[in-house]
A and B are shown apart, each in its own frame.
Chain A
Amino acid sequence: MLKCRAAWQKLAPLVRSSSTLCRKSAKQTVLKCESSFRPTQRASMSSGPPGGSSDNLLYYLLVGGTVIGGGVYAYSTLHGDKVRYQERIAEIVSRQNKELTPTELQPTEKGEGGSEKETAPPSEAPPVETEQPPLEAVESAPETVPRPEVPPHAPYLLIGGGTASFAAARSIRARDPGARVLIVSEEAELPYMRPPLSKELWFSDDPNVNETLRFKQWNGKERSIYFQPPSFYVSPQDLPYVENGGVAVLNRKKVVHMDVRENKVRLDDGSEISYEKCLIATGGSPRNLQAIERAGEEVIKRTTLFRKIEDFKSLEKISKDVKSITIIGGGFMGSELACALGRRARESGLEVNQLFPEGGNMGKVLPEYLSNWTTDKVKTEGVNVLTDSVVKSVSYQDDKLEIKLKDGRVVKTDHIVAAVGLEPNVELAKSAGLEVDSDFGGFRVNAELQARSNIWVAGDAACFYDIRLGRRRVEHHDHAVVSGRLAGENMSGANKPYWHQSMFWSDLGPDVGYEAIGIVDSSLPTVGVFAKATAKDTPKAAAEESGTGIRSENETEAVASGASESTKTPSSPQVPQQGEDYGKGVIFYLRDNVVVGIILWNVFNRMPIARKIIKDGEEHTDLNEVAKLFNIHED
C-alpha cells in the first residue's frame, strides 16, 4: 500500500505535467482545426508554427517521448527507494543481531525475559543492551560459555536476605511449580532468624556457640538459626538452568539502583538483573545516638549496634574480655540483651548496666505498673538499671568510656551496646520512584503489600495498610514471616490483603515471658486481668509442652498435627512471693473502646483466641468477660 502511495506521489507531478502537456496538445489541435477554418492568422502557441502531418508526427513523438521518459524516471525512483529501504532494514537487523549474539550465548531458558529483549523496539536502541554484552563477551570463550556469577534475569527477584525474603521465597516455591527465585543479600550469610541472637544463643551451654550458631531449645532439641542449610539452595549461576527451579542466594551484593520502567536492578558491582516480580525486603539498620556518633573513633569502635550475626559474635567475645558493658535503650532488644548478659554476669562477674529515658523497661509498650514490675525483674537478673536517663555526651578517657547523663550522673564502662531503634532501609525509593511514609518510615504499600505494579515490600521496611488496625509498620519476627509469606503469595498470583495478624513475644530471662498481638502502645488505655503465677507458668514450661523453641511456630505446627492439647495437670498454687502481684494475666489495649492489642502475660498457647478478638473488632462492655475466654487460671 505504501508502495502505491509512494509511487503515486512520485508520479503525481509527472502526471500533472503530462496532463498539462496533453491539454496543451489538445488545445493546439483544436486551435489548429479552428485556424484551418479561419483565413486570418491568429497568434496562437509559441510552440512551433502550426503545420500539417509533419506537425502531427512531431506531436506524437513528443508525447511518446515524454511518456517513456516519465516512465523511466518513475521506475528508477521507485527502485532507488526500494533499495534504500532494504539497506536500512538490513542495517537495523544487523545491529539487533550484534546486540543479541552475546545474550543468545545463554540457552533460551530465560523464558519471557529473553523474548522481552528481542521484541524491544530496535529504533530506540536501549542503552542497557550495550552494557551487558561487554560483561558477558569478556567472560565467554569461543566454544564453552562459563555461566556468569550474577544471572542476568530472575523471574522472582527478592532484594534482601532476611526473614521476610526467605518466607516469600518459600511461599513462591510452594505455589509456583519450578519457580526460580533469586535473593540478593548484602550480608555474607544465608537467611537466618534474629530472635535467638538476643535470647537463646546467649543461654547456650556450648562454648562454641559463636561458630555453630546452634541453640538448644528448652525441650532439648537443637536447631540452627539458619532457616535452611546450604544444600537447600541452588547457586546463582545455576539458577536459570536447574530443572525444577530453586532458591538462590547472591551474597555480598547490594542493589543500588532500581529501574522500574525497564524492570531491572543494578548491583554495586555494576551488573544488572532483570526481573518479572520483585520484592523489596531490605529491613532496617540500627539507629545510633548522636552523642556517640560525634564522640570520635575511640568511642565508636567500642560501641555495638546489634542486629546481625557478626554483631552477636563480636559482642559474645567482648562479653568475655571486658569488665563492664552498658546497654543504652530500654525496649525489647535492649532489655533482652541486658537479661542475657546479666545471666552471664553471674559466672564472670561482668558488670551490666542498662540506661534509658523511660521510667521502666518496655516503658513504651507496657502500662506503667507492669513496666515497673518488669524493671524489678530485670534487676534481679543481675542488671544495674538506670531509669529516666538521657545521654548527654560520651567520651573516652583513661581507657574507659564515660557516659555523661543530662541529670549529671556519670557511668563508666568498657563497652556500649546501642539499642535505640531501627531505621528502615529505603534508599531504593529514590531510583525506583517509590513512596516513603512520613509517619512510620518505610516504603508505603497497600493492603496487599504492593508498592507498584511488579513491586512488593515486606518485613521491617514495609509501611502497610492493615485493614483492621490501620496503617502501620511492624518490626517483629513473626510479622516478617507473615508479610513475607503474603507477599510471596501475591507475587505468585494471589490477591490477599494483610489479614492474619502477626504476633510477637519477649522473654526476660527464662522465667518470665509474654506474647502479644496487635497495637501494644503504652499510651493507650489498658485493662489488665491477672491471676497468680504458679511454677507451671513460665516460658520454659510452655516450650516444653509444645516442643518448639520459637513460639510463633506453636500455632502453625499445631494446624498439621491436629492441635496438640496441652496436658491438663492440676497446678498447685505457689506461696505468693514478694512483689509477685502480676503473675499471669491478660492485658487489653483499647482504642475507642475497641480492643486493638492484647498481651498474654505468662499465659501461653492462647494466641488464636487473642487473634480472634482483635479480628472481630467488637466493642465489649465488660473485658473481664472477655478475659474469661483465656482461662488464665489453667495451664
Chain B
Amino acid sequence: MALFADLNIVNTSDTDRKRLQSLIENAAHLGYSTVAINHVAEFQGKKLEIAKPIAVTELYPSPPIVQGKSKPIKILTRLTVIVSDAAHCNDLRITSPHTRSYDIVAVLPKTEKLFHVACMTLDIDLICINVIEKQPFHFRRPSVNGAIERGIYFELAYSPAIKDSTMRRYTISNALSLMQICKGKNIIMSSAAERPLELRGPYDIANLGLLFGLTEGDAKAALSTNCRAALLHGETRKTALGVIYTVKKASATEEKDEGTPLSKRAKTKSD
C-alpha cells in the first residue's frame, strides 16, 4: 500500500504556529503519511542566513492521525536554498554544520551553469523546478541524466497553478519541457502550500501529473515511491560520510608493505 508524502509545506514565519498546525491537520485528513516543513533561504547581498529548523515536538505533543491508517503523521524538516550565483553554493558542497540539522536539502538554481553544478556535484536531495516564471534556460540531457544517476529528484510545486492562471501556463510548460528530457523518471510533485486550502488530495495530484505528461504509474510514483526514495537519500546524506569496502585477499599484508619505504614499514613485524 503506497504511502503518500507531501514534501513541501512552506513555513513563512516562525511565529505562526496555528497556521502550520491547521495545514498539517488538513494534510493528515487528506491521507498524507509524511509532510516536510520547508524553510526557504535566500541570499541577501553575500550573506546567507540559514535559520535553525523548527522543532517538531514543539508543534504537536501528539501528531494527528492519518486518514485511513492508524499511525500518526510524520513531520520532517527541509531546507530550500535559492541560488543565483556560484559563490552561494559553498554551503552545499561539503556537509556544513548548517545543513546537517535538516532532513532534506533542496536547491532552486536560477541559471543553467548552476543547474549543471547542482545536478553533478552539490550535496543535495532535491532540485526545485521554477514554476512561477518562464524558465530562462532549457534543460540539458547530460545534466539531467547525471542527476538521475546520483539519485537526485526534481520537484514540481502545484499550488501556484491553483492560485493563478498565468502561473498555470508556466507550470505546465516548464513541467512538459522537463518531462521531454527525463522521460518521467525521478519526479516528485508537492504543494508549496501556505494556507490549508491550497492542499489537494493525493489522487487529485496524481491526475494532475497526467496533465504534466507523466504516465499513470509514474504519476502515482511521483507522490509515493519517489518521495520515499528522496527521504532515504536525505537520511544517508545525513549519516553516511564514507564507505569502507573490504575484500578478502590471501597475501594482502605483504603486498602492501613492499610499496612503502623501509623506514615506514610496520615495526611490529618480526624482522
User: A and B from one assembly?
Assistant: no
Residues of A bordering B, CB below 8 Å? none
